[in-house]
Amino acid sequence: MSVLDDIVAGVREDLAARKARTSVVDLRAMIADTDAARDPMPAFRAPGLSVISEVKRRSPSKGDLADIPDPAALATAYAAGGADAISVLTEERRFNGSLADLYAVRAAVATPILRKDFIVSEYQLLEARAGGADLALLIVAALDDATLADLYTTAIGLGLTVLVEVHDEDEVERALAIGTDLLGVNARNLKTLEVDPDAFGRLVTLVPDDVVKVAESGIGGVADAERYAALGADVVLVGEALVKDGDPTAAVAALRAVGREDS
């Protein structure tokens, strides 16, 4: 069993427990009382490098990263730095996240929010929208073609913007086949946890110009952001470097300055 398979198995167990507590009817009622989803795409398509700043306590590859007792305060710092979106990890077992983090961040900022999790069910998309998320992550490696297409269509129908994540050439082809306009290349292969620093540069050449390209993993600071921007990234998604930084507001602002120095 790969690392990804093990993570998804745990996600399905936790999902079953949540389904037993909260019905689909209840989630849809919550959605009806939730503000319309915010659209991050105009910012992502604007000149310069956009930044998705992540609320991330731990990871399977690195272990504990940061103690984040107040995710809302961290999100507020990200927003003050100009973050174009804020990613909130909600997976419990490997990342120590929760839906409570999503609710806390939504209550604190007006910035578009990404629910980052291993989404395998329509129920999780309903949870995302009920919690005020504006974007949802779909990981191609975790889904078969039919499920990927169904979840993508469902997410769009809920008003969510979908970040479709890929790791290799085959997954790029599968992502483009469903019509995604926001594609993330994760340098870390979630099946093995190995990092391929050349993945973005190799895969970005397969992606049409009109698709917004997001570089994920391995972004330690401005130098890495500049490298990805030079390769064609429109957006960087940064977690570890920001949660470890003593001044996340300044760190986000420095990343966003890439490509904007002369504008």
Q: Among residues 56, 59, 127, 240, which one is catalytic?
A: 56
Question: Pick the catalytic residue: 116, 122, 127, 240?
Answer: 116
Catalytic-residue membership of 62: no
DSSP assignment string, the chain: --HHHHHHHHHHHHHHHHHHHS-HHHHHHHHHTSPPPP--HHHHHSSS-EEEEEE-SEETTTEE----S-HHHHHHHHHHTT-SEEEEE--STTT---HHHHHHHHHH--S-EEEES---SHHHHHHHHHTT-SEEEEEGGGS-HHHHHHHHHHHHHTT-EEEEEE-SHHHHHHHHHTT-SEEEEESB-TTT--B-TTHHHHHGGGS-TTSEEEEES---SHHHHHHHHHHT-SEEEE-HHHHT-S-HHHHHHHHHTTTTTT-
Active site residue 56: yes
Q: Which of 50, 53, 54, 122 is catalytic?
A: 54
Clarify whether 189 is annotated catalytic. Answer: no
Q: Is 217 annotated as catalytic?
A: yes
Q: Is 116 a catalytic residue?
A: yes
Please indicate whether residue 244 is annotated as part of the active site: no
Catalytic residue among 91, 122, 127, 165: 165
Catalytic hit among 91, 122, 216, 240 = 216
Q: Which residues are catalytic?
A: 54, 56, 116, 165, 186, 216-217
